[in-house]
Amino acid sequence: MTSLILLFLCLILGIILTRNKLFPEHGHLALNAFVINISLSALSLYYIPKITLNLQVVFPVAVAWLNILLAIAFFGFLGKKFRWSKSVIGALIMCAGFGNTSFVGIPVIQALFGDSGLKTVMLVDQPGSFVALSTVGIAVANLYSGTRTSVADLLKKIIRFPPFIAFTVAVLLNLMNVEVSQSLNEVFKILGATTVPLALVSVGSQLRWQKPDHDSKPLFWGLFFKLIIFPAGIFVLYFMILEQRSELVRISFMESAMAPMITAAIIASAHRLEPRLCNLMIGVGIPLSFLTLFFWYVVMQLYLQT
């Protein structure tokens, strides 16, 4: 209950601070930078060395990759059917192809599964969402906007990204069975604890509601894919076909149902892929996702009880 109260309180605080101009106009950029570079890195260093690495880790990592690959196929087909422009198709692939696995995912998973669930979140977020966004995501943004980024530049961005460096170090510590000192572990834990409140205040400060107008149809299909079709596919694949029931798989499934990723929308907008549609995907998608997440959680619990 405490985590849920914190979740909604911080979201509301972000909205209030922005609406009343008590928050700098681009203050969320500073919060995002701290969360991405410091908080997430600390979480990786705290949780990843404690994970038992086995074939089960494929499930959380695969969620992010399946999301973007299926989005490319789905919106490529739908774009031809509805005769959408390349920029609309590219915007939908970017916004519906990546889930908000950290900024929204961390507080939601923590509320539903406790702190232990954050180990799985790190697997979905780092080798999953981040690497997929930095490679396939950038390639999609370039392709649909007509710009180019070299493979070398992509690799440099990945290698130099602080959370990825921290993730790599954490995996090496795990593989070599190196035990981090209690004092250092406590530091990582405290820094990691800043993720939830700062991320949610940032999300709340960035929420914008606009009338969809001509964006109504793309917005509907984008959110329908991200919040309903994709998690339904993961549900069938993980629970019904592969018959998995572990907590790691349950968390992976819930991560598949998260709202569109803010960072992916920002990248799409920076490449001039329908910025208004990208803002709508975030502004409508995040609040709506709390309802669909509750729906999917109930469906999952009912299914697993059978």
Q: Calculate what percentage of the chain has a pLDDT beyond 70.
A: 96
Please give the average per-residue pLDDT across 214-237, as a whole number: 95
Q: What is the mean pLDDT of residues 213-228?
A: 91
Q: Is the pLDDT of residue 83 over 90?
A: yes
Is the per-residue pLDDT at 250 higher than 80?
Answer: yes
Is the predicted pLDDT of residue 212 greater than 90, yes or no? no
Is residue 22 one of the residues assigned to a domain? no
**Looking at residue 223, what is its pLDDT?**
97
- Considering its fold, how many domains does the chain have in total? 1
pLDDT of residue 225: 98
Is residue 280 assigned to a domain?
A: yes
User: What is the average pLDDT across 219-247?
Assistant: 97
Task: For residue 20, tell me if it sits in a domain.
Answer: no
pTM value is: 0.83
pLDDT-based confidence at residue 199 (cuts at 50, 70, 90): confident
* pLDDT for res 3: 65
Question: Does residue 245 sit within a domain?
Answer: yes
Evaluated on CA atoms 121, 122, 128, 132, the torsion sign reads positive
Tens-place pLDDT, residues 1-37: 566 677 788 888 988 988 888 888 778 888 888 987 8
In a domain, 41, yes or no: yes
Mean pLDDT score across all residues of the chain: 88
CA distances from 37 to 41, 43, 162, 263 (A): 6, 11, 5, 13
Q: DSSP labels for 82-141?
A: HT--HHHHHHHHHHHSSB-TTTTHHHHHHHHH-GGGHHHHHHIIIIIIIHHIIIIIHHHH
Q: What is the pLDDT of residue 109?
A: 92
Please report which confidence band the pLDDT of residue 210 belongs to, taking 50, 70 and 90 as the band edges.
Answer: low
Q: Which domain holds residue 297?
A: 2-15+27-304
Whose CA is closest to 196, among 108, 260, 280?
108
What's 263's domain CATH number?
Answer: 1.20.1530
Helix (H, G, I), strand (E, B) or coil at 259: coil
The residue ranking higher by pLDDT, 304 or 5, is 304
In a domain, 100, yes or no: yes
Closest CA to 238 of 175, 303, 187: 303
288: CB partners within 8 A, 6+ apart = 223, 227, 259
Question: In this predicted model, what pLDDT tens digit does every residue of 159-190 receive, in sequence order?
Answer: 887 888 888 898 899 899 888 899 999 999 99
- Report if residue 21 sits inside a domain: no
